[in-house]
Amino acid sequence: MTTALQDDLRVQYGIADDRAHISQITADLAGSGMPTAPHVVAKITRRLNGDAQAVRETAAELNPSQRSGLRALPELLPLVPSIAAEFDRLELSARDRFVLLIASLCAEAGLDLLMEAAQVDSPHLVAESIGEYLTVSRGQYSFKDARLSVWIRHAEPGVAIMRAHERLHQAHLDQGNAVHAAWHRARSAVERAADVAPQLTAVSRELHESGQTDLAFIVAVEAAEHATGAARDEACLVAGAAAVAAGCFEDGSDWLRSLFPHGDAEHKRQALASMLIAETYVRGTVPVLDPSEHRPLTTDARHWSAWARTAGLAAVMCAERGAIPGMRVWLTELRDAELRAGAQGEIRDSVVALCWMLTGDQGEIGTLSRGPFSGGVVGSLRTAVDGDIELALQMLGRAQSGLLSEVDPLIAGFERSPLIGAYLAVTETLLLFWRGDIGAARERLLAASIDLPIAVPFAGLGVTLAHRLDIMFLGAPGVLPQVLMATLPAGIRVDNLVDQSLRAYLDGEHEQAATNLRLWHDRGAPQPALSVPGLDEVGPLVMGTRIEPPELAKARELRHRIRTIPEASWRRERDAVAEAARGLSSSFCRARVEAMLGSVSVVHEDLSAGRRHLRAARCLFEESGALAWQGVVDVKINRLAMQQQVSEGIVTAPINVIDDSDAVENSWIVWSEVLTEREVEVSMRVVRGLTNSEIATELDISVRTVEVHVSKAFHALAVRNRVELTVLAHRTGQYL
């Protein structure tokens, strides 16, 4: 049934994963005011033979929830003008049209089945009449142009479609395939066929557990249309769970909500965890429930195990969103449920470990469970935070390989789902980022965005990563990150002030970068619980608790140390910092330290060291894939080289004259790496000739505060008075 329904619904028509093509269509849709999640664009593209115009027209027929992926695509895509124009003049006999209709509806793409259902007694007859529209190989067939399947199903009247399903139902019965026969019987039935529902629901469960959640949802919905009573409750349960697993949370919420409050008790118990996930992403917050109203009223260990999973998932969702009180309530419920179930912490230990990481709490962690989420995602994050990123990536690769069929006690039944696939992809991207592989991390996330709902995991971490990586690689967010932001589920909010600050810094607008960082700091410095490297070269420093590998913290401490080294001990401590930086395995982390060492060396007029460190930074940024950051260093190196040529009188070609006022403004670039933002603001006004009183008025601070900032700036820059500060500004600005 699995392969057959895939062929029936034409979700895989031999269209290769052409990311550039899909990205271009995604960009066009966004530019037309129809932002569509990349993985949704990919699904439509593959079902329409890669026809960009047909994809655009189809997207226009969808509602915003379908374009964002919160609702499933229709099982039969709409007949849009470009597809109609392509085939409306197609000359086919009534017999050939009926054969193609059967081919488009068949739940098993076997040539012998097609011939039996269409009552064609020879493969040659198929080849002669409709061979130009079908590809036949090894007894199987597929449409050469996927769009024809859409057209033929719209073109034929309902009575013909029912007759085709009846033929297929009988053909499957004759071949002894009761499951496929049940599917076609359900599709051809005028009234409810309650006896087919259990078979379809069972098939839907199998599809769901194998990761084919789109198909599972369609089959379960069909089962629900025919079922009654407890059988319908079960079909609704499976349909809702499949929708949630696919990231279609609005569909999931609708189907699961139909079980409350009057559904079968057993099905409600099984549905509650998926319902909590769906409602969280639809409403924006984790639903506030009284656990006492939902606890099992039995001593059955199975019921308590299911309740433990529900409590564990609720705790994780609360932790993702920083709802610590709710998280603690659910963790308490989880511990009690596992105790009653006679479990040994197989759910609790992984949930507690992840919740501690997401909230910054500390505590003893037990043995983590196996499985793609508990062992793969949680285990690899814990290993990376403990300092071994390579082992963490190996653990994640094992979870992603698909070679193991491990049951994950927390997410049983969802192991192969797109939702868990998205968690794995986002986690891998974060680990690559932590390792300093900017280019590789960006490539991994962009590839995953074509197939998975990567905006969902960890309350939007994938979107933050997509923006940050593009800025470091390109200097600005590309199309896919922007579309991901535009199609976020309603409950996810991503703060972009750090991204704006980083863009400004890489564009050379250091004052704007510092302003953005100050605003971010004033708002409480919101950031993902799992640390995403940002910017600390300018602006106020935020040194709070971060969940990250030790090396990232070490690199940040080295940059902070560089900013605070006094003039008197500069050369000695610079060498100590440089030696410490050699121990950083991350090219990106070390590059940022080297770049700051180079810039501050220029401030202290140690031009030889400045060139040496900047050149090292350039090579390391290039190696890591942070090409936009590399460009910033290139500008500094080129300016240093130009100044050296001027000073040595060896320039043989005309050069641009550096305006003195521009040179003074350029001093901001390097002073911001050793002074606080306010100290730089005050110092630049001193250089402009303002008195302390005038500076106080302009910045709306007291004269005493100005005096303190001036004194600290003098000390940090090793000057004795305002004249020396002004001279230093002119000299420093000429170099950078």
Q: How confident is the model at residue 581, as a pLDDT? A: 95
Q: Inter-axis angle of helices 438-449 and 418-435, to 10 degrees?
A: 170
Structure tokens at 202: 């069972």
d(CA 548, CA 22): 34
Structure tokens at 365: 């962690």
pLDDT digits (tens, 9 = 90+) for 131-146: 889 888 888 888 999 9
Of 97, 78, 112, whose CA–CA distance to 160 is shortest? 97
In a domain, 706, yes or no: yes
Q: Please state the rounded mean pLDDT for residues 668-696.
A: 81
Hey, which of 464-478, 531-545, 714-728 has the most confident mean pLDDT?
464-478
Q: How confident is the model at residue 678, as a pLDDT? A: 82
pLDDT digits (tens, 9 = 90+) for 575-588: 999 999 999 999 99
More confident residue, 17 or 573: 573
- Is the same domain home to 199 and 259? yes
Spatial CB neighbours of 496, under 8 Å, sequence gap ≥ 6: 467, 485
- Residue 250 pLDDT more than 70? yes
18-32, 129-143, 405-419, 577-591: which range is least confident on average?
Answer: 129-143
- Is the same domain home to 672 and 614? no
Q: How confident is the model at residue 121, as a pLDDT? A: 73
- Residue 646 pLDDT more than 60? no
Confidence band of 257 (pLDDT split at 50, 70, 90): very high
Q: How confident is the model at residue 619, as a pLDDT? A: 95
Which is it for the CA torsion 602, 604, 608, 612, positive or negative?
negative
- Is the same domain home to 606 and 675? no
String of DSSP letters for 203-235: HHHHHHHTT-HHHHHHHHHHHHHH--HHHHHHH
pTM: 0.86
13-27, 52-66, 165-179, 593-607: which range is least confident on average?
Answer: 13-27
- Listed residues 14, 45, 78: the one ending a domain: 78
Contact 43, 73 (CB under 8 A): yes
3-state helix, strand, coil in the chain (%, to 5): 70, 0, 30
- Listed residues 233, 253, 282: the one ending a domain: 282
Q: How confident is the model at residue 361, as a pLDDT? A: 66
- Is the same domain home to 606 and 678? no
Structure tokens at 391: 């082992």
Contact 11, 49 (CB under 8 A): no
The CA-based angle 11-16-22, given to 5 degrees, is: 85
Could you tell me the CA-to-CA distances from 605 to 148, 467, 582, 616, 650 in Å, in that order? Answer: 72, 36, 23, 18, 21
- Listed residues 282, 301, 328: the one ending a domain: 282
d(CA 543, CA 539): 12
Of 712, 728, 722, whose CA–CA distance to 667 is shortest? 728
The CA-based angle 137-143-149, given to 5 degrees, is: 155
In a domain, 179, yes or no: no
- Residue 214 pLDDT more than 60? yes
Q: E-strand spans in 72-138?
A: 134-137
Number of domains in the chain: 4
Q: How confident is the model at residue 7, as a pLDDT? A: 38
Spatial CB neighbours of 650, under 8 Å, sequence gap ≥ 6: none
C-alpha gyration radius of the chain = 31
Helix (H, G, I), strand (E, B) or coil at 719: coil
- Is the same domain home to 28 and 64? yes
With pLDDT > 70 as the criterion, what percentage of the chain qualifies?
90
- Is the same domain home to 573 and 608? yes
Structure tokens at 682: 């005050």
Segments forming the whole domain that contains residue 581: 550-648
String of DSSP letters for 253-309: HHHHHTTTTTS-HHHHHHHHHHHHHHHHHHHSS-----GGGTS-SS--HHHHHHHHH
d(CA 258, CA 278): 13
Hey, which of 244-258, 395-409, 663-677 has the most confident mean pLDDT?
244-258
- Is the same domain home to 643 and 686? no
Q: How confident is the model at residue 15, as a pLDDT? A: 39
Confidence band of 352 (pLDDT split at 50, 70, 90): very high
**Residue 195 backbone zone (phi > 0: left; psi -120 to 50: alpha; other: beta):** alpha
- Is the same domain home to 641 and 692? no
- Residue 562 pLDDT more than 70? yes
d(CA 299, CA 315): 23
Q: Please state the rounded mean pLDDT for residues 116-135.
A: 78
- Is the same domain home to 206 and 229? yes
Q: How confident is the model at residue 656, as a pLDDT? A: 40
Domain containing 210 — which CATH number?
1.25.40
In a domain, 223, yes or no: yes
Contact 479, 450 (CB under 8 A): no
The CA-based angle 580-557-628, given to 5 degrees, is: 90
pLDDT digits (tens, 9 = 90+) for 438-474: 999 999 999 999 999 999 999 999 999 999 999 999 9
Q: Which helix (H) or strand (E) holds 129?
A: helix 123-130
In a domain, 712, yes or no: yes
Q: How confident is the model at residue 17, as a pLDDT? A: 53
41-45, 436-440, 513-517, 553-557: which range is least confident on average?
Answer: 513-517
Confidence band of 667 (pLDDT split at 50, 70, 90): low
Q: Please state the rounded mean pLDDT for residues 666-673.
A: 67
pLDDT digits (tens, 9 = 90+) for 579-620: 999 999 999 999 999 999 998 888 888 888 999 999 999 999
Confidence band of 724 (pLDDT split at 50, 70, 90): confident
Give residue 47's identity as a one-letter amino acid code. Answer: R
Structure tokens at 549: 């590998």
- Is the same domain home to 612 and 675? no
Which is it for the CA torsion 350, 351, 357, 363, positive or negative?
negative
Hey, which of 7-16, 116-125, 457-466, 691-700 has the most confident mean pLDDT?
457-466
Q: How confident is the model at residue 735, as a pLDDT? A: 47
- Is the same domain home to 554 and 638? yes
Q: Please state the rounded mean pLDDT for residues 204-232.
A: 93
Q: How confident is the model at residue 3, as a pLDDT? A: 37
Of 51, 62, 23, 57, whose CA–CA distance to 39 is shortest? 23
Give residue 398's identity as a one-letter amino acid code. Answer: R
Confidence band of 492 (pLDDT split at 50, 70, 90): confident
The CA-based angle 249-253-257, given to 5 degrees, is: 170
pLDDT digits (tens, 9 = 90+) for 302-351: 899 999 999 999 999 999 998 999 999 999 999 999 999 988 888 999 99
Contact 356, 363 (CB under 8 A): yes
Confidence band of 643 (pLDDT split at 50, 70, 90): low
Structure tokens at 245: 């697993």
In a domain, 703, yes or no: yes
Hey, which of 289-303, 352-366, 452-466 has the most confident mean pLDDT?
452-466
With pLDDT > 90 as the criterion, what percentage of the chain qualifies?
56
139-153, 272-286, 356-370, 610-624: which range is least confident on average?
Answer: 356-370
409-418, 607-616, 700-709: which range is least confident on average?
Answer: 700-709
- Is the same domain home to 633 and 671? no
Cα 14 to chain centroid distance, Å, stands at 26
In a domain, 112, yes or no: no
Of 503, 492, 496, whose CA–CA distance to 422 is shortest? 492
- Residue 377 pLDDT more than 90? yes
Domain containing 690 — which CATH number?
1.10.10.10
In a domain, 529, yes or no: no
100-109, 446-455, 516-525, 633-642: which range is least confident on average?
Answer: 633-642
Q: How confident is the model at residue 683, as a pLDDT? A: 87
In a domain, 705, yes or no: yes
Confidence band of 243 (pLDDT split at 50, 70, 90): very high
Could you tell me the CA-to-CA distances from 148 to 95, 117, 299, 563, 574 in Å, in that order? Answer: 16, 19, 56, 65, 69
C-alpha atoms less than 13 angstroms from C-alpha of 318 in its C-beta half-sphere = 22
Q: Inter-axis angle of helices 52-61 and 19-31, to 10 degrees?
A: 40
